[in-house]
Amino acid sequence: MDWWAYAVQQNCSWYWKKIVEIKDLFRAKLDKSAFMAVQYSIQSGYDILYDQHIKVQWSKFVWERCSIPKHRYILWLVLHRKLRTKEHLSKYFHAMDTVCLLCGDHKEDITHLFFQCTYSKICFVKMKEWIGCQAQTEHYQALLQWISKAKHLSKLRKGFFIAAVT
Ligand SMILES: [Zn+2]
C-alpha cells in the first residue's frame, strides 16, 4: 500500500481520519519525493503547512513569562474560542445542561464566564480597579489591547492582570 496515495475509508475512527487528513495537507504542499528529502522536524512540518506566519497581537500576553503555565494555556484556548465551557461541550454531548455553575442563571460560554457572570464581574471590577484600568469594555481582546498600550503598568502588574483574567 502506498501511504502517500492512501485515501481514508468512511468507517475509520476519528483519530485515523485526522492522521490521514494531516498527511493529505502535506501532500497538497509537497510531492512525495520533496517530502522524503526533508529532514523532518516539528519546525519543518509547521513551516511546510503554514507558510504564512501571522503574528497575533496577543501572543506576548499568552506566553508572558511571569504567568502560570496553566493560565497561559487557558488564555490561549479562550483566544482561539476553544475553551471547553459547557456551551462548547454541549455541541458534543447534546443532553448536557449549559447553565453557568458560578451564577446558575445563564448559558456558560466564554463571554459569560469571564465577563458577564455576576461572580466574574465582581472579581473583574476589583482587578480593573487594582491596575487602574479605565477601559469601559469588558471584552477580553479589547482589554488585552488596552493592557498592551498601557505604558504606566509594570510588566509584573500586566502579568498579574492577565493571570487573573484567565
Ligand atoms: Zn454565570
- CA–centroid distance, residue 97 to ligand 1 (Å): 13
Long-range contacts of 68-74 (CB under 8 A, 24+ apart): 68/163, 71/162, 71/163, 71/166, 72/166, 74/166
| 81 contacts 110 by C-beta, under 8 angstroms | yes
Distance 158 CA to ligand 1 centre (A): 25
pLDDT of res. 140: 67
Quick: pLDDT tens for 114-153: 878 999 888 888 887 877 777 777 666 677 777 777 777 7
Sequence spans of domains, the chain: 3-49, 59-165
pLDDT band at 11 (very low <50, low <70, confident <90, very high): very high
Q: What is the pLDDT of residues 35-72, one digit of tens each?
A: 888 898 988 888 888 877 777 777 777 776 667 788 88
**CB of 71 closer than 8 Å to CB of 166:** yes
Q: Does residue 161 sit in helix, strand or coil?
A: helix
**Cell 491596575 belongs to residue:** 131
Q: How far is the CA of 34 from the centre of ligand 1 (A)?
A: 52
3-state secondary structure of 99: strand
**59 CA distance to ligand 1 middle (Å):** 27
pTM greater than 0.85 (yes/no): no
From the CA of 39, how far away is ligand 1's center (Å)? Answer: 50
DSSP letter string over 78-114?
HHTT----HHHHTTT-TT---B-TTTSSSB--HHIII
CA–centroid distance, 157 to ligand 1, in Å, is 26
Residue type, 102: L
- How many separate helices (H) and strands (E) can be counted in the chain? 10, 0
